Amino acid sequence: MDTERALAAAVRPALASACPALRDGDALDAVGGVTPSFVGLPASTAEASALLRVAASFGLAVVPRGAGHGLGWGLPPTACDLVVDTSAMDQVIEHAAGDLVARVQAGATIGQVASVLAEAGQQLVLDAPADATVGGVIATGTAGPRRFRYGSPRDLLIGVTAVRADGVVAHAGGKVVKNVAGYDIGKLLAGSQGTLALITEATFRLHPLPPAVAWVTAEFGPADRGAAAVALQSAAGSALVPSAVELDWPPSSAQASSRAPRALRVGVLLEGTLSGVAERARLMSELLASAGGSPAVAVGEAAPPRWGQLPSPSTVIRVSFWVSGLAGVLDAVAAAAAGAGVRPAVTGSAGAGALYACLDPGTEHDATVRFALSLRERLAAGPPAAAGRSAAEASGSGGPRGPRGSVVVLAAPAPVLAAAGADGVYGPVPGAPLMRAIKDQFDPDHRMFPGRLAAI
Amino acid sequence: MGSIQALVPRMKAICGAGNVITDPLELRTYECDGLTAHRSIPALVVLPGSADEVAAVVTECARAQVPFVARGSGTGLSGGAMPHAGGVLIVLSRMRTILEIDPVSRRAVVEPGVTNLAVSKAAAPFGMFYAPDPSSQVVCSVGGNVAENSGGAHCLKHGFTVHHVMGLEIVTPAGELTWLGDGTGVTTGYDLLGAFTGSEGTLGIVTKIVVKLMPLPEVVHTLLAAYATTSDGGRAVSDIIAAGIVPGAIEMMDALSITAAEAAVQCNYPAGAGAVLIVELDGPAAEVEAEVATVRSLCEAAGATEIRAADDPAERAVIWAGRKSAFAAVGRISPSFIVQDGVVPRTSLGAVLATIASLADEAGVRVANVFHAGDGNLHPLVLYNDASPAETLAAEELSGKILDACLEQGGSITGEHGVGVDKSRYMPKMFNADDLDTMQLVRCAFDPAQLCNPGKIFPTPRLCGEVPGHRRAPHPAVAAGQAEIF
């Protein structure tokens, strides 16, 4: 004990000399129920590097933190001695408007970056909360509706600076959009949830702000799920260049309380010039109406309710799939929900093959686990092929098909995570042994957010 | 070499005797890729016909500790597929089946030897296309595109290969078949798909590729504008971007490359032009019409001496003929040339072009400029006579100085051709030792024995030592045998 106390007494001054903005952790800093001993707020990449070198020398478990939106998602850390908070690194370092590129510190918020870029009529196309940090959005791989056209953070990130577990500062990429020099470490860090390194700076590709936007929505009755799927597929495959193709399928209780039952909403975002968007919205309305099911089609200049937002759920299960199997996915969700006795709200970028099944906090833990496992089992066999699958199938040599989607529990109450186990949380993850090898190379002592990512 | 000879019967058993090449004359035909300046004759060439055969071949190499290099169509321009003299060259050209097209999912599954253009051709009946379009798309393979993260003229708007690859089946350097990504573009765990794409064949061999298809644009409109100088053309480029327009492609050629193209394919570009700019706009008719009008007026305002427009495929082909033939055309006016692939921020284009011109004058070397102006990717063609050692040296020195000029502007040594063997010596100018060390952690994770395309990208290989054994207390799920932490 004495040695431990002496060690602990040595840790604080060493950390503080590396990073003067150091304080004790408290209950508000807890990550997945684990309260850190220290919280450091480095002001620069150099300070962050010094801080992580000291942490390494004492073998401390480190959890990087942005705004904290994603900290409660996923498995809790097995240990958390030091939280590294990026909020003191909050500068937009450079906005090269003529190059459509911006370099920002990891702690800058999405809202702050957006307001700087908007002055030049530009944007960083990441659909995330205004108070989320750039570093957090990259680390969690957060993507909203516009992933359909622009992808996720990994697709917009062109350069990155990060501090490794051992304190070494590494750069990759650069500040030009087109660049294939060296391995793309930025891709590896995007979505790595702080388990490989601390992101301190990022350079992004930007896009012009569109002069006009319109949302085209089609609401289908509960009996017309199939027609809704066809309408969505038509929108996603159209040459009208939608920026987002979303599905919103509230739980049965919500539709019962609504006077006119509107079971499923297909929502399409169009961006462009004023006249162009008006014309495309007209054509998109016709397209959505032509799928059958007599939907109520509307065009609006404001986002429809719940656009790009998950309900405030306790459990979020992400389903990814090939879009031709959408109707089968919806059937599987309905059947798994009925079997487990749960009422999921289903929403997300169905046009990009990603949906989120959200369960409210009142849901029984056992039922949640049953639902997730049943859904995965139903989809593992592969959703039934869409009607009219092309003749090109005939040219196939019928080799192993490979994965066509996944069912992953992104967030859930601790008892659900514990009951499901990593196997139940993730299901099969392609390339998991290589991921473990990557982790071993970047963080051989497993001190960066230990326990957060796990795979079988 | 002894161990290589011992591999021959095994390779014949795996791939069939007819698909194993040992004849010295035949081996010589594989000595280089599209970059002929770097050559090395492989000890053995094998042509596997399936993913399982690739896995078996790699397993044999790993067991014998023999280096191996994968090769698609061999059109690469950085020596990425240059063979290892003591190793096996694995040629994937027999694996060229398009396995599946799912137009509703906008996905195709192809083998690595399928050519880039074949994907778009197969998708066309469904109103779809495969967006990355390197100039060599008629012959280059999708597997090679994945290795190099290939771009093309239209990646300005539609992105690079990495943005269009949704899943990969690979053979790891240990010889195991595995998938990366779940085929949808959604990532679980680390983005190995993103890390693998563009790794230049150093992390494994691709055996199946799931690509994203896109709906063919409703309309495509191409403008050609002639200018007195490249800086006038450059001004038009800046103005177009500043207007909030992202064209499908913006390409520029200077006077020397126009002259060469004219002689080669009679593209009939405006006579006496100091530069031509090609701007292609694609998308919904309702948007493109307005964009064309804006671009046309911006091109005029920047001092265009002539503007031509094309909106049908035949007319567009005429405009593109000169640009697409440029590299080959330059080969007709010079015995030899070096293609550089440096990138600069778009706003630095004018400054860098001026630097290149003065460097070329100083060195007494001719440089033809053909470039992707929209994304600042320069392709200076440094002309020389390879029969003259002095000229060769001068050309090489000038090429290096051009890359230095790009890096001074905050650019990159390669935008789409890759590092390969050709530019590994420039990597330390762009990245410091820690950066390169960090990148090679990925190499060590995939290929600790460093048998997979060794000697490429990195000037100095990292030793992949044993990982230290220190571990913290295990996660409860691990302790309970439910999980392994990564």
- Digit-coded pLDDT (tens) for A311-340: 877 899 999 999 999 999 999 999 999 999
- Provide the sign of the torsion angle of the four alpha carbons A40, A43, A45, A46, taken in this order: negative
Residues of chain B contacting A325 with CB distance shorter than 8 Å: 105
B13 in a structural domain: yes
If asked whether residues B383 and B342 sit together in one domain, one would say yes
State whether B210 and B226 are in the same domain: no
pLDDT at residue A456 in the model? 39
Collapse the DSSP code of B240 into the 3-class scheme (helix H, G, I; strand E, B; otherwise coil) and give the result: helix
What is the pairing mode between strands A82-85 and A38-40?
A: parallel
pLDDT score, position B3: 79
Kindly write down the DSSP assignment for every residue of B449-472, as one continuous string: T--BSTTSS-SSPPP-PPPP----
> How much is the ipTM here?
0.94
CATH class of A315-382+404-441: alpha beta
Residues 69-108 of A with CB under 8 A from B: 75, 78-79, 96-101
Residue B397 lies in a domain: yes
Domain segments of chain A: what residues?
Answer: 14-209, 212-300, 315-382+404-441
Domain boundary among B194, B215, B236: B215
B327 within some domain: no
- B117 and B83 part of one domain: no
Does residue A270 contact residue A351 with C-beta atoms inside 8 Å?
no
Q: Are B108 and B211 in a shared domain?
A: yes
- Measure B5 CA to nearest chain A CA, in Å: 31
Q: Note whether B417 and B375 are same-domain residues.
A: yes
Can you tell me whether residue B345 is helix, strand or coil? coil
CATH number at residue B438: 3.30.70.2740
Position B264 in a domain:
yes
Domain final residue pick, B187, B215, B243 = B215
Phi, psi of A126, rounded to the nearest 5 degrees? -120, 115
Closest CA to A32 of A447, A372, A422, A412: A412
Interface test with B, best of A178, A274, A329, A416 (most B CBs within 10 A): A178
pLDDT per residue rounded down to tens, chain B (486 residues): 457 999 999 999 999 999 999 999 999 999 999 988 899 999 999 999 999 999 999 999 999 999 999 999 999 999 999 999 999 999 999 999 999 999 999 999 999 999 999 999 999 999 999 999 998 999 999 999 999 999 988 999 999 999 999 999 999 999 999 999 999 999 999 999 999 999 999 999 999 999 999 999 999 999 999 999 999 999 999 999 989 999 999 999 999 999 999 999 898 999 899 999 999 999 999 999 999 999 999 999 999 999 999 988 899 999 999 998 888 898 889 999 999 999 999 999 989 999 999 999 999 999 999 999 999 999 999 999 999 999 999 999 999 999 999 999 999 999 999 999 999 999 999 999 999 999 999 999 999 999 999 999 999 888 887 544 444 444 444 444 444 434
- For residue A99, give the chain B residue with the closest CA: B346
Give the residue from B45, B71, B91 where a domain finishes.
B91
Residue A114 reports pLDDT greater than 60: yes
- Whole-model pTM: value is 0.94
CATH of the domain at B24: 3.30.43.10
Q: Which CATH superfamily is domain A212-300 in?
A: ACT domain (3.30.70.260)
Q: B341 vs chain A: nearest CA distance in angstroms?
A: 10
Whether residue B468 lies inside any domain: the answer is no
Judge whether B199 lies within some domain.
Answer: yes
Q: How many domains does one find in chain B?
A: 4
- Provide the CATH number for the domain around residue B188: 3.30.465.10
Cα A21 → chain centroid: 30
Domain assignment present for B325? no
Fold match, A14-209 / A315-382+404-441: no
- The amino acid occupying position B35 is L
CB nearest to B194's CB, from A154, A276, A451: A154
Residues B428 and B376 in one domain: yes
Cβ-defined contact of A404 to B182 (cutoff 8 Å): yes
Which residue range is the domain that position B211 belongs to?
A: 98-215
Looking at CATH, the fold of the domain delimited by A14-209 is given as 3.30.465
Of B301, B246, B312, B308, the closest CA to residue B277 belongs to B308
The tokens describing B171, both together, are 């053979």
Q: Strand A244-249 to strand A264-272: parallel, antiparallel, or no bridges (unpaired)?
A: antiparallel
Q: Are residues B417 and B438 in the same domain?
A: yes
Say if B255 falls within a structural domain. yes
